């Protein structure tokens, strides 16, 4: 059965090592397409999204192999330029292969990407930016073809709003384009920094890494490298908020503390004690959780939209009234109805705001995950609840967590798949 069974009520104790970043490894895998050599990528999370990307790379001729958490990508021979099927339509991150394929072969046909049901995420910015670089786009039902009649040319591109995916595509195209690409209002998320560092280590010339303006000098030869993926800040945040909800204290080994300031601030506001070290984060839960009067999701370095559902689960039993504003995606409150089945008191005000009124406890029942981070939030709620909780649609959660049941069991939770 595609479900997770949890018997709640156990406080969490111990330590867990944080896996490699999902949001960082996927664009790095796409970037390996640009390199006619072998790349060795360490600390890769074994999650379904990575396996989907692996299958896409293999479908166009790459050789990909695993050795524990190390992924080897041999992109010396590319034999196809068409990508379709569930690996594209079921994973939003497949769109990063657009810029990579244009940089490598000059042409690609692909189905429109899919992913979670959390709101509209159109690819217009991706396509418009690539058009400015000389790419012709031919759209038809269900798919599109992108083609360069001659080599892509660097230009000045300014995004109307910051977009992680569109930033990644321009970077991937720009490192192979002729001349200089200046990208203004670029996304500053850690995964963008990781992608730039990977390409820079492979021979690309990129200035302004970590800022909102990137200057990419195209046309430099790239070579194979060994590269390590940083730890996943969203997984670390999930476990951080879990112990706040259940009680106890845990150590998050390798947690990327510098990327988690907004999460740590929210955790301390709820009442947790946070001790940051060079090895990770020690979290000590307070017996009484405080409400968060107002929290708004924002682009990095603000509070991440991916952490909104796990936070909401914790706030269901906080003392007082919390207000959450979702500023990134307009349809990311699917978890509310499921938490209400467990006894939560939440008032949704439009598509962007939710008022969480703390209750004494949640009660276990059968709930359904509709997307990745909402599913993680339901697992947290199940660990907090009295009685048994069954979280259906486990496959959504497996898109981003290597083995969430293993990690929670190691911390003392009564949890299993089934």
Which residues are tagged catalytic?
A: 116
Instruction: Give the span between the Cα atoms of 111 and 127, in whole angstroms.
Output: 14
Question: Are the beta carbons of 305 and 297 closer than 8 angstroms?
Answer: yes
Which residues neighbour 264 within 8 Å (Cβ) at sequence distance 6 or greater?
Answer: 240, 257, 274, 276, 281
How far is CA 84 from its chain centroid?
A: 22
DSSP string, 302-343: SB-GGGHHHHHHHHTTSBSEEEEE--S-TT--THHHHHHHTT
State yes or no: cis peptide before 301, omega within 30 of 0.
yes
Instruction: Give the span between the Cα atoms of 401 and 407, in whole angstroms.
Output: 10
**Closest Cα partner for 122 from 160, 80, 172, 72?**
160
Please give the order of strands across the beta sheet that includes 38-42: 63-67, 70-74, 38-42, 226-228
What are the angstrom distances between the C-alpha of 38 and each of 35, 63, 74, 97?
8, 9, 4, 18
Question: Are the beta carbons of 214 and 196 closer than 8 angstroms?
Answer: yes
Which residues neighbour 233 within 8 Å (Cβ) at sequence distance 6 or greater?
Answer: 21, 190, 255, 256, 259, 260, 263, 304
Residue 233, H or E segment: helix 233-246
Tokens (6 digits) for 45: 């999370």
């Amino acid at each position: 059965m595609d479900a997770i069974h949890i018997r709640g009520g156990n406080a969490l104790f111990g330590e867990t090592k944080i896996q490699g970043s999902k949001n960082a490894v996927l664009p790095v895998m796409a970037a390996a397409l640009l390199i006619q050599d072998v790349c060795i990528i360490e600390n890769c999370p074994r999650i379904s999204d990575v396996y989907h990307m692996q299958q896409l790379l293999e479908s166009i001729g790459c050789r990909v192999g695993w050795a524990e958490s190390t992924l080897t990508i041999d992109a010396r021979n590319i034999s196809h330029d068409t990508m379709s099927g569930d690996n594209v339509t079921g994973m939003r991150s497949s769109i990063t292969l657009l810029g990579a394929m244009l940089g490598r072969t000059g042409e690609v046909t692909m189905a429109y990407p899919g992913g979670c049901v959390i709101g509209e995420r159109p690819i217009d910015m991706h396509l418009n930016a690539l058009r400015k670089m000389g790419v012709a786009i031919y759209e038809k039902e269900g798919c599109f073809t992108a083609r360069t009649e001659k080599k892509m040319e660097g230009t000045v591109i300014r995004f109307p709003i910051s977009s992680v995916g569109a930033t990644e595509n321009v970077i991937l195209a720009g490192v192979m384009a002729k001349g200089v690409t200046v990208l203004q209002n670029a996304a500053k998320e850690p995964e963008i920094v990781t992608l730039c560092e990977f390409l820079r280590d492979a021979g690309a010339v990129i200035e302004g890494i970590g800022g909102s303006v990137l200057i990419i000098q195209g046309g430099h030869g790239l070579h194979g490298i060994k590269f390590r993926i940083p730890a996943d800040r969203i997984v670390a945040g999930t476990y951080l908020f879990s112990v706040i909800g259940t009680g106890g204290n845990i150590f998050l080994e390798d947690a990327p503390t510098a990327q988690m300031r907004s999460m740590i601030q929210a955790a301390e506001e709820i009442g947790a004690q946070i001790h940051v070290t060079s090895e990770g984060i020690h979290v000590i839960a307070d017996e009484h959780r405080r409400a968060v009067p107002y929290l708004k999701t924002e682009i990095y370095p603000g509070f991440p939209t991916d952490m909104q559902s796990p936070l909401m689960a914790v706030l269901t039993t906080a003392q007082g009234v919390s207000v959450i504003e979702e500023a990134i995606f307009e349809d990311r409150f699917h978890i509310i109805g499921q938490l209400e089945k467990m006894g939560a008191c939440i008032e949704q005000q439009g598509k962007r705001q939710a008022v969480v009124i703390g209750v004494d406890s949640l009660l276990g029942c059968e709930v359904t995950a509709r997307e990745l981070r909402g599913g993680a939030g339901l697992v947290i709620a199940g660990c907090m609840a009295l009685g048994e909780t069954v979280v259906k649609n486990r496959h959504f959660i497996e898109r981003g967590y290597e083995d969430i049941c293993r990690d929670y069991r190691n911390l003392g939770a009564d949890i299993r798949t089934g």
